[in-house]
Amino acid sequence: MQPKITWVKNKMPKSEDKNLSIMSLDNVAAARKFHKSFPQYSVTPLADLSRMANHLGLKGLFVKDESYRFGLNAFKVLGGSFAMARYIAKETRKDISACDFDYLTSDQLQKDFGQATFFTATDGNHGRGVAWAAKRLGQKAVVHMPKGSTKTRFDNIAKEGAKVSIEQLNYDDCVRLAAKEAAQTEHGVVVQDTAWQGYEEIPSWIMQGYGTMSAEAACQLRTLEVNRPTHVFVQAGVGSLASSVVGYFTNLFPDNPPTFVIVEARAADCLYRGAVAADGSPRIVTGDLTTIMAGLACGEPNTIGWDILRNHANAFLSCPDWVSAKGMRMLAAPLRTDPAVISGESGAVGMGAVAAIMQDPAYADLRQELKLGRDSQVLVFSTEGDTDPERYREIVWDGAYPSLEQDN
């Protein structure tokens, strides 16, 4: 039979929760104000899948569609651009409110700051966002991609003027390479959402940048007369996005937060493994981390994000590739009058998980544990569109990774 979703309820001991304040409403508001200063900014759609919700046995199902973000087909640019701005603000001793798009593209910036080289590792979306922001802000970017990265994603980054390479390394080793090269480069800066001991400030800024997406979604839900989602499904690689979403909505609804479900790729389920161990310490997954969910193929957790998730996430899911493929197909071909969402491999796993939990009797215990049913208002984040068009068509058109795939 096909490999199953495995899950664990969060039973980890709580920490002092010192990192929750990173995602304060004020910090997220500052990030959103910064993003609004870009001429390319617009609020991305929130798809109201009312018929799909009814079909699955839910009250509401809402999908934040990041395929429209800044014309880059993914949300990642939110974090990289804001981190660059916060870094420049710190170096020039300015408040972030003074470092808007106009200032960062002005001749005055060259006098105040000059030019830095921003180094990063990526499967594609983050690197493209860093390269895009660096080009528009007159900075340099160097991007390392792990082995197995596709030519389409490589070309998208190269088009933005970055120096880009595909290394014979996995993602986490590419991060180490980027950090090493930045340390050896004058005015070199690592822009990575993976935090480690001694490297925590920039990852926290990236998380705040991601908060723009959550803040938009919260406002959009209110216009649909949904004051608060009862459940939030969010995918995780290193956990920066997941902890950004969890942190923001926990601060927004401190007395009654939603139920937070963290979904990971089976090949890189480091957060899930930490939750299974239940001792509060993160776990690391090594090896090639082979999965269609390239954006989630990260084996070492962001230590800041892990702290937020261990305190506030309710459940962790480890998902085989068919879960994402199922979500991609369902979003591409919704029920009549529901809007279609073009969601890539790393963007659709939340949708696939919701559908499997609600439709498959094998997950009845998980459905009961999460209290998912006719009163549930579920928010899901589709974090990328068809960033690899050929792979997208293989899955959506040709049926690759079917839900009934046999486990040989």
Distance of alpha carbon 70 from alpha carbon 19, whole angstroms: 29
Question: One of 64, 76, 140, 326 is an active-site residue; which one?
Answer: 76
DSSP string, 167-191: -SS-HHHHHHHHHHHHHTSTTEEE-
Question: One of 123, 193, 269, 388 is an active-site residue; which one?
Answer: 123
Could you tell me which residues come within 8 angstroms of residue 123 by beta carbon, excluding any fewer than 6 positions away? Answer: 145, 146, 149, 153, 171, 294, 295, 297, 346
Catalytic residue flag (residue 123): yes
Could you tell me which residues come within 8 angstroms of residue 124 by beta carbon, excluding any fewer than 6 positions away? Answer: 145, 149, 150, 153, 154, 156, 157, 294, 295, 387, 388
Catalytic residue flag (residue 111): no
Q: Is 117 helix (H, G, I), strand (E, B) or coil?
A: strand
Sequence-distant contacts of 172-176: CB under 8 A, at least 24 apart = 172/286, 172/298, 172/299, 172/300, 173/146, 174/121, 174/122, 174/144, 174/145, 174/146, 175/121, 175/300
Q: Contact 8/316 with Cβ under 8 angstroms?
A: yes
Closest C-alpha to 81, from 46, 54, 113, 41: 41
* Residues with catalytic function: 76, 123
